[in-house]
Structure formats: structure tokens, C-alpha cells
Amino acid sequence: MLGFNGTYFQPDTLQLTGIPGMQTGHAWVALIFCTFYLISIIGNLSILALVVRESSLHQPMYYFLSMLSLNDLGVSFSTLPTVLATFCFSYCHIGFNACLVQMFFIHTFSFMESGILLAMSFDRFVAICDPLRYATVLTNSRILAMGLGILAKSFTTLFPFPFLVKRLPFCKGNVLHHSYCLHPDLMKVACGDIHVNNIYGLFVVIFTYGIDSTFILLSYALILRAVLAIASQEQRLKALNTCMSHICAVLAFYVPIIAVSMIHRFWKSAPPVVHVMMSNVYLFVPPMLNPIIYSVKTKEIRRGIFKVFYKSQS
């Protein structure tokens, strides 16, 4: 945008958009998003409360699950204010600095989720490949150190992003393509040399998603080798069953990311609604699905839920 002296400047506010082509159906979209938020917030809070309350769940696997639930709450609360404002109250403006803050937290929590899923894969690797040392390897202090390490890694790698955006002039309008702020969206309306932003963004993606997904695949290759070495078919199935919840959580997180990348790479002429919907799936579906996945697939979580429900009925 041009200032009075002909120079480019940063707008005071940015305009958020809903879903292209669905301006008249915002009531239904708002209902869907509110349902997603409700399931995500109640589900993840329930997981956290259950792990804290039930002493039988004070184990490494459930500590990592608590980290995942806490992070999913962070993802939900990062997008909630602007999404509800856009679809429920038709208020589509956000301050420039507030947009940078939201962008930072959305990306930070997304990258943290990848690190937590990697830590959970390590938990399953130790539990299956070296079960006798499980309690001595995954001590409370080490679990805490892993959690803090994931937080520090995500925070430090994402911390330069707001400053890299802040230095840029904006001349291509102030309209973003989502109901929340993302770095790629801001790059589309920024002027000047954005190569540093793009290169650093690629580095962060490779340093987080690329490395994390590689080690997750490696851990499951080692797990599969250990499982195939078990003589009893019943024991093999039992060992694999302990990994199913985590495998589903990994797929729920990485499949939308891969789909978004493939669409941007090979289907650049796709309608805007496709890009927006895939981005929404990437941010809204994993926090909603994870509590459901672990409630359905994990016997101890189901038992804890039934126990709490039975006590409340009594």
C-alpha cells in the first residue's frame, strides 16, 4: 500500500476472509467450526483431566499424550478468536501486530505437534524394542526435558518469523485468504525482497517436519522389525495394537500437510476454496481427532472415562 509520500508502508489492519464462494452460508460454516472447537476443547481437556486424576495413567505414554492434548488446545485457541469473529460476527479485521502474534503461535504449535509425535514414536520404540528398560529410559525428568526441548526448538526456530515479516513493505492490498494469519498468506501481499522469508521458511519446514517425519518412519521400521521377530502371532498383534493410536494421530497430522504441499506444487490452478479448505483441515482436524482416536483405541483411556462416568452417575 502506498503512503502519502509514495513509499510503501505496513497497514494498520489486515482483512481476513472466510471461505470463497460461501459468503451466504456463513451461519452453517460457523456452526461447523464451533462444533470442531467444542469437540477439540472438551476432548483435550478431558484427556488432561483424566491423566492428572487417574494414578494408573501416570506413565510415559500418557504424559506424552498430555503434551499432545495441551498443544492441540494451543492450536485451537490460537485460531479461535479470529475464526469466530469472521464467521459468527462478520468482523473481518485484525491489527497488523496482532496478526504477527497469531501467526507466530499458530506455526509454533503446529511445529510443536510434529515434535511431540516424534517423542511419542520414541516412546513406542522403547516400549516394544527394549521393554525391560522402558521405566529406566523414560524417566519423569527425561520426559520433562524432552517436552522442554520440543518447546525450545519450536520457539527459537519460529521466533524470527514476525521480525522477518515486520521489515517488509506491503503494496498488494491488505486482504488475506484465511480467517487467521499464516506466513504464506502474508508473503502474498508483501512487497520487496521476500527471498529471505521463503528460504528461512523452507529451512524451518525441513528442520521440523522433514527431520521429525524421517525419524518417525525410522522408529516404526525398527518397531516392525522387532515385531516380526516375535514368534507368537497373538503377541505380534498385541504389540502392533499398542501403536495404532499413535499411527492414526501421525496420519491425521501429516496427511493434510502432504495434501496441502501437493496441491500447492502440482495444482496451482486449483480454485481458492480448495486451498482454504485444505488449510482448515490441516489446522482443525488433528486437534479434534486426537482425543477421539485415543479414547476409542486406548483401553486405559476408555476405562478411565467409564470410571469417571460411573462415579458421576453414582
Q: What is the DSSP string of 200-234?
A: HHHHHHIIIIIHHHHHHHHHHHHHHHHHHT-S-HH
- Radius of gyration for the alpha carbons in the chain, expressed in angstroms and rounded: 22
Question: Residue 189: what pLDDT?
Answer: 87
pLDDT in tens, 181-228: 998 889 888 887 888 998 998 899 999 999 999 999 999 999 999 998
pLDDT computed for residue 3 by the predictor: 46
Q: The C-alpha cell of 46 is what? A: 478431558
Q: Determine the Cα–Cα distance for residues 10 and 3; give it in Å rounded to an integer.
A: 9
pLDDT digits over 64-118, tens only?
A: 999 999 999 999 999 999 998 888 888 889 999 999 999 999 999 999 999 999 9
Strands (E), 154-286: none
Q: What is the pTM of this model?
A: 0.91
Q: Which domains does the chain have, with CATH numbers?
A: 14-306 (1.20.1070.10)
> Minimal CA–CA distance to 290: which of 127, 68, 132?
68
Long-range Cβ contact pairs of 17-21 (< 8 A, separation 24 or more): 17/86, 17/92, 17/175, 17/176, 17/177, 17/178, 17/179, 18/86, 18/87, 18/92, 18/179, 19/273, 19/276, 19/277, 19/280, 20/271, 20/272, 20/273, 20/276, 21/271, 21/273
Q: Among the listed ranges 129-133, 144-148, 188-192, 273-277, which one has the minimum average pLDDT value?
A: 273-277
